[in-house]
Amino acid sequence: MSALFSPFQFRDLAISNRVAVSPMCQYVAIDGKPTSWHLIHLGGLALSGSGMLIMEATAVTPEGRITPGDLGLWDDDTEAALKPVVAAVREHADIALVMQIGHAGRKASSDTPWNGGQMLSEEQGGWQTLAPSALPQKEGEILPQALDAAGLQRLRDAFVDTARRAARLGVDGLELHAAHGYLLHQFLSPIANVRNDEYGGSLENRMRFPLEIFDAVRAVFPAGKPIGVKVSATDWMNDGWDLEQTIAFAQALKERGADWISVSSGGISPLQKITVGPGYQIPFAQAIKQAAGLPVIAVGLITEARQAEEIIASGQADMVALARAMLYDPRWTWHAAAELGASVHAPAPYWRAPPRGKEALFKDTAYGAR
């Protein structure tokens, strides 16, 4: 039996296999609201045969968006706009639907990647950014506003409000975005956080606000539904956030009831020096899994079925999440299952798709494996 296509469980949520679709920002929302693109994009990926679909980073406030085109869930209008997208996935796909929520901090107010991704001024449609400290992401950018006590409380309230709205929408789980140089990662990293109050300085202090956010969200989200956290295991910079600190953070999250850690890296500064290669972040995931005793999701240049199988079978991670590979081949999970002799769920209109000799690919058909 394929390890990659074995089931897994997070609280009450049963996952049919160990393949997840990574959250991938699309940058085409309007005032935080999804468009027909999101319905097509998420609908297609929901039919990939994967066990879990994680929706793109969804901002908890308007100023928490990376770009003006980011998805958001902060008021009745954004909640209402997401409702038909979630309903469509629910109607047609047998997949766990998770929403990643976060705040971009000092990396907000940026242009779309295909337009260069540079920070936007207010004249260009941008806005004042927020951060732990008044330090720019890179030299020459408009300084972010350092969050005071009232600002921190507003953000706690915003994360709670978004979590409640997500629960009303009926998503199966949440993932807090504490990676890639966005706000919660900014609090963790000594490169972005030079505060001299209880939220800066020591590791315990720098972890305080992200842990407060986790506690607040966990308290209002249904107890049977899981919450994971995405982390950057290292800043890839001297004197920055590193694996040892990430393990301490993961251990603290486990004590608070976190259900998984999704292990990425980098993003705090354009000066980072990353060594990239196939599966280059897998050792981070394995180290966190072993030291913290939490399920981990491995990400980063996982592109081949047997590569993913080995990651799961060897115990390096509990799930793998694919992004670019899934965009390039939205049926990646079908093809991986066929290669590994496994089966996946598919809707009835697709039951005739498998080629000769692969009729057992789909679990749902009269002639398929069950």
- Rounded CA gap, 113 and 67, in Å? 9
Q: Is 27 among the catalytic positions?
A: no
What is the chain's length? Answer: 370
- Rounded CA gap, 309 and 69, in Å? 35
Phi, psi of 119 (to 5 degrees): -60, 140
Q: HSE on the CB side for 363, CA within 13 Å?
A: 13
Asked if 24 and 54 touch (Cβ cutoff 8 Å), the reply is no
Chain centroid to CA 21: how far? 9
Residue type, 117: G
Going by C-alpha positions, the residue among 185, 214, 189 that lies closest to residue 104 is 185
Burial category of 307 from C-beta neighbours within 10 Å (exposed 0-12, middle 13-18, buried 19 and up): middle
Phi, psi of 22 (to 5 degrees): -65, 150
Asked if 318 and 295 touch (Cβ cutoff 8 Å), the reply is yes
Catalytic residue among 27, 182, 280, 328: 182
SS3 77: helix
Burial category of 62 from C-beta neighbours within 10 Å (exposed 0-12, middle 13-18, buried 19 and up): middle
- Residues annotated as catalytic are 182
